[in-house]
Structure 1
């Protein structure tokens, strides 16, 4: 079977659609576009495939009711628009899927939910149960409370993480562009990239950002999302919303990203791609060798300085002597405790501070390598 044809038999698929694929030129929700997408997804759902839809559009849907001509720049107004627009968006999906006798359930997440293990497990249970109950989950970032997350990726990264969370067989990224090209699609001579087998196929490719009024993502974030999913062993198709049916059927449309990795542990995946370092630990050359090359735990003796405010259990970035972020891990101490520990052995710390200090700053099982030193 051709690798693309695997999509036609996939039993569980995540589909992500961007704001620009759902809205009119004026920025309001386009009923016909929503219905056209739902026609495709509902048909596939009734054929037996479980579908999770990651949908942008809440902020865009709120522009009209609030009398806004374009996407606001300030966070508070973005959050207000999302608050108004999320209800409009879900109501539209509810009505559209109802034409097929299907019900939907709203699931609002932030990157923080994917980062904290208790929230992560709750999200997984909720999505699994919704699918068991024959509900189509409509997932969106919780833009009404998100801070940094609201400006990241137009839900592309979230879709890739949800793909791993529910153990989906494929991820389909729908955009207003029909494929990834080696240059701007409008430029004469730009060539569609039908398949991406690895990073080498992206060398020299120009990845532009969104030029739309209502979206926030672009090809950069979609390629990043594809990297997350394929790195976890899941194939990805990137194409236009108008080609959704063909993509799900395994036709030669858009760009197909071949899976290139095994399914990693969920915790390491969210630590690498969902977590944001709350601070930094700067390592000497010996500690870099131990942690990055030999995959050892990080000990206080190998840390030269600490930056930021964080608590025990928070993710922190691990930097080499030149300041480059090489890894990320879950730290065992508060930021205020660490300066007293630096450069000292754990045995010495146990003698002077107590036995609870005879342990690593970060255990090797709680470290993910982000960049090789080679």
Structure 2
């Protein structure tokens, strides 16, 4: 089977060898493992696989590296005890399985890390935790404190309280956001495949990809799902996770869970270079972690002002408002064609904005008061959505 390299715009000097070296030397690394890599529908948790993973992580910790584990598997760990042969589709049974399985999963991780003299700490996060700035700061503070105290944080989505509308649904994006929160030097995604392929590995013309210089230039077929009956993600969510991490300046490696030790050394799988122009860290929360509460539709002039002139959004350029939101909430900013061009923190509620549409700041100040003269979204509180976002 041939191997492909995907070239494009990336950090100067960051060739494949350089990216692999960066991952091998990463002082702080976030490792994500999928459900299908540590469990099965028939027998639940796979103790041998868990032990192999923990050994690799403990070895890295003993070598002086900070390690954060983002682990799926709560639902799959609870399936066998509840007599479920396949991952349930309805939310109620998923939450029941997670309620049973999360404790079992953490118990096993705690035992395995304790055998190496390490303390494991559990963090269960929801989209809301990563959306609201106060909760986001709290999660960052907790993770940082655990790492400073020498513990191994184990993060999972809190499936027992998440809803279909407000949930990550998989841990790939969560892992990328955690990597950004803890200022990780590398992100490793462990799955049930050894690398990224141009299409499903079973396809006869599929090619293995060893290096991706620009994830936004990547063109692969990810329509086929992963392991049936266990995992919730797939290669699509992993590519999205890479986009998030690379946008934060974090190199990424993708490989199978069995290759965890070699992955930590940067010696296997597919590696992805960080992008050349990193987005400001304070805007990564807005771009990727926030849950939009509504949408503002803009005219062509406003789209040009935001995307070309890098200006703030004024009421005169807004033609429509949808959703129910308050001042300070994240909203999408879409052009006349419905394509989202930016996300931003809005300065007015959905109740106030309709009366303001199409009016200049001077007109608003005269008719409604000086407090209405400010921007609808200030340029410092918006982020443009690039290709692939």
Partner of residue 329, structure 2:
314
Q: Corresponding residue for 1:287? A: 302
SS of equivalent residue, structure 2 residue 39: coil
Structure 1 Cα separation of the partners of residues 289 and 186 of structure 2? 19
Is 1:65 aligned to 2:81, yes or no?
yes
Q: How many residue pairs get matched?
A: 371
Q: Which runs of 5+ in 1 are unaligned?
A: none
CA contact (8 A) 1:66 1:81 kept: yes
Q: Which residue of 2 is the match for residue 45 of structure 1?
A: 61
Distance 1:113 1:347, change over 3 A: same
User: Take 2:283 and 2:216, find their aligned partners in 1: how far apart are those partners?
Assistant: 24
Give yes or no for the alignment of 1:298 onto 2:279. no
Aligned to 1:136: 152
Q: Tell me the CA shift for residue 149 of structure 1.
A: 6.8
Give the alignment of 1:1-374 within 5 angstroms. Answer: 2-26=18-42, 28-148=44-164, 152=168, 154-199=170-215, 202-251=218-267, 253-371=268-386
Deviation at 1:190, TM superposition (A): 1.7
Moved more, 77-86 or 33-42: 77-86
Task: Write the deviation string for residues 4-42 of structure 1: whole angstroms up to 9, x where unpaired.
Answer: 122222111000000000103515111111111001111
Distance 1:100 1:18, change over 3 A: same
Deviation at 1:314, TM superposition (A): 1.1
1:322/1:264 CA distance change after superposition, 3 Å: closer
Q: 1:358 to 1:150 in 2, by over 3 A?
A: closer
For 1:336, what is the secondary structure of its paired residue? coil
Deviations 1:287-315 (A, max 9, x none): 11111211111111111111111111111
Q: Name the CA shift for 1:73/1:207 in 2 (closer, same or farther; >3 Å).
A: closer
| Contact 2:41–2:87 (8 Å) recurs in 1 | no
1:195 Cα deviation from its structure 2 partner = 0.5
* Other structure's SS at 1:352 match: helix
Q: Distance in 1 between matches of 2:21 and 2:32?
A: 19
Q: Distance in 1 between matches of 2:220 and 2:193?
A: 19
Which secondary structure state, in structure 1, belongs to the residue aligned with residue 209 of structure 2?
coil
Residues 140-166 of structure 1 show CA distances to partners (whole Å, capped at 9, x for unaligned) of 111112124776452001111111111
Superposed CA deviations along residues 95-152 of structure 1, whole A, max 9, x for unmatched, are 0111100010001112221221111111111000000110000001111121247764
The separation in 2 between residues aligned to 1:280 and 1:201, in whole angstroms, is 28
Cα separation, 1, equivalents of 2:67 and 2:160: 25
Alignment-derived partner of residue 3 in structure 2: none
* Separation in structure 1 between the aligned mates of residue 373 and residue 306 of structure 2, nearest angstrom: 18
User: What is the SS of the residue equivalent to 1:280?
Assistant: strand
The SS at the match of 1:194 is strand
Cα distance, 1:206 vs structure 2? 4.3
Residues 24 and 371 of structure 1, relative CA distance in 2, 3 Å threshold: closer
Q: Secondary structure at the match of 2:170?
A: helix
SS at match of 1:123: helix
- Check the 8 A contact 2:298/2:336 in 1, yes or no: yes
Greater relative contact order, per chain length (Cα 8 Å cut-off, separation 6+)? 2
What secondary structure sits across from 2:305 in the alignment?
helix
Task: Describe the shift of the 1:153–1:177 C-alpha distance in structure 2 as closer, same or farther (beyond 3 A).
Answer: farther
Shift in alpha-carbon separation, 1:212–1:276, aligned structure 2, 3 A: same
TM-score (norm 2): 0.91
Contact 1:111 1:149 in 2 (8 A): no
**Separation in 2 of the partners of 1:353 and 1:27?**
65
